[in-house]
Amino acid sequence: MNPPAQGNPSKSEEQHGSVMINGEKYPLPEPVIRNIEKVIGLRANQERGVPLHERVLAKVAEAFGRPLSFYTLKWPCSSAGGFTAVLQRLG
Protein backbone atom coordinates (compact mmCIF):
# COMPACT_ATOMS: atom_id res chain seq x y z
CA MET A 1 0.00 0.00 0.00
CA ASN A 2 1.28 3.47 -0.89
CA PRO A 3 1.61 6.02 1.93
CA PRO A 4 -0.57 9.11 1.58
CA ALA A 5 0.93 11.98 -0.38
CA GLN A 6 2.43 14.86 1.57
CA GLY A 7 -0.36 17.27 2.55
CA ASN A 8 -3.13 14.70 1.93
CA PRO A 9 -4.18 13.13 5.22
CA SER A 10 -5.04 9.45 5.32
CA LYS A 11 -8.57 8.28 6.18
CA SER A 12 -7.66 7.73 9.83
CA GLU A 13 -6.20 11.24 10.10
CA GLU A 14 -9.35 12.73 8.52
CA GLN A 15 -11.58 11.01 11.06
CA HIS A 16 -9.50 11.93 14.09
CA GLY A 17 -8.47 15.47 14.87
CA SER A 18 -5.04 16.61 15.85
CA VAL A 19 -3.32 19.73 17.03
CA MET A 20 -0.06 21.28 15.79
CA ILE A 21 2.40 22.39 18.46
CA ASN A 22 5.78 23.75 17.35
CA GLY A 23 5.37 22.06 13.98
CA GLU A 24 4.62 18.65 15.52
CA LYS A 25 1.24 16.98 15.07
CA TYR A 26 -0.39 15.43 18.13
CA PRO A 27 -3.64 13.44 17.91
CA LEU A 28 -6.63 14.47 20.02
CA PRO A 29 -8.77 11.95 21.88
CA GLU A 30 -12.26 11.42 20.47
CA PRO A 31 -14.04 12.92 23.56
CA VAL A 32 -12.05 16.15 23.13
CA ILE A 33 -13.02 16.36 19.46
CA ARG A 34 -16.70 15.84 20.35
CA ASN A 35 -16.50 18.57 23.02
CA ILE A 36 -14.93 21.02 20.56
CA GLU A 37 -17.62 20.27 17.97
CA LYS A 38 -20.33 20.71 20.62
CA VAL A 39 -18.95 24.10 21.71
CA ILE A 40 -18.77 25.25 18.07
CA GLY A 41 -22.37 24.15 17.54
CA LEU A 42 -23.58 25.91 20.68
CA ARG A 43 -21.81 29.11 19.68
CA ALA A 44 -23.30 28.98 16.18
CA ASN A 45 -26.80 28.48 17.62
CA GLN A 46 -26.27 31.35 20.01
CA GLU A 47 -25.20 33.69 17.21
CA ARG A 48 -28.19 32.72 15.08
CA GLY A 49 -30.49 33.78 17.91
CA VAL A 50 -29.06 37.31 18.20
CA PRO A 51 -31.31 39.97 16.61
CA LEU A 52 -29.96 41.97 13.68
CA HIS A 53 -29.82 45.28 15.58
CA GLU A 54 -27.64 43.70 18.29
CA ARG A 55 -25.25 42.28 15.68
CA VAL A 56 -24.98 45.72 14.03
CA LEU A 57 -24.30 47.39 17.39
CA ALA A 58 -21.66 44.77 18.19
CA LYS A 59 -19.90 45.44 14.86
CA VAL A 60 -19.98 49.21 15.45
CA ALA A 61 -18.62 48.79 18.98
CA GLU A 62 -15.92 46.46 17.68
CA ALA A 63 -14.91 49.04 15.05
CA PHE A 64 -14.71 51.85 17.62
CA GLY A 65 -12.58 49.65 19.86
CA ARG A 66 -9.73 49.56 17.34
CA PRO A 67 -6.85 52.03 17.67
CA LEU A 68 -7.14 53.22 14.07
CA SER A 69 -10.74 54.34 14.57
CA PHE A 70 -9.76 56.15 17.78
CA TYR A 71 -7.08 58.19 16.02
CA THR A 72 -9.33 58.73 13.01
CA LEU A 73 -11.95 60.28 15.28
CA LYS A 74 -9.43 62.08 17.49
CA TRP A 75 -7.73 63.96 14.67
CA PRO A 76 -10.78 65.92 13.39
CA CYS A 77 -11.97 66.60 16.94
CA SER A 78 -8.60 67.94 18.07
CA SER A 79 -8.19 69.89 14.83
CA ALA A 80 -11.63 71.48 15.23
CA GLY A 81 -10.83 72.37 18.83
CA GLY A 82 -7.54 73.94 17.85
CA PHE A 83 -9.15 75.82 14.98
CA THR A 84 -11.84 77.18 17.32
CA ALA A 85 -9.19 78.30 19.82
CA VAL A 86 -7.29 80.16 17.09
CA LEU A 87 -10.45 81.88 15.88
CA GLN A 88 -11.29 82.96 19.44
CA ARG A 89 -7.84 84.52 19.89
CA LEU A 90 -8.14 86.38 16.61
CA GLY A 91 -11.33 87.91 17.74
The pLDDT tens digits for 50-88 are: 888 888 988 888 887 777 767 776 666 666 666 677 777
H-state helical runs in 1-66: 11-15, 30-48, 52-64
Q: Residue 21 phi/psi, 5° resolution?
A: -130, 120
Average pLDDT, the chain: 76
* pLDDT value, residue 3: 47
Question: Is 44 or 6 the better-scoring residue by pLDDT?
Answer: 44
Q: Which of 43, 41, 40, 12 is nearest to 28 (CA)?
A: 12
Long-range contacts of 57-62 (CB under 8 A, 24+ apart): none
Are 47 and 38 in contact by the 8 Å Cβ rule? The answer is no
Are 26 and 18 in contact by the 8 Å Cβ rule? The answer is yes
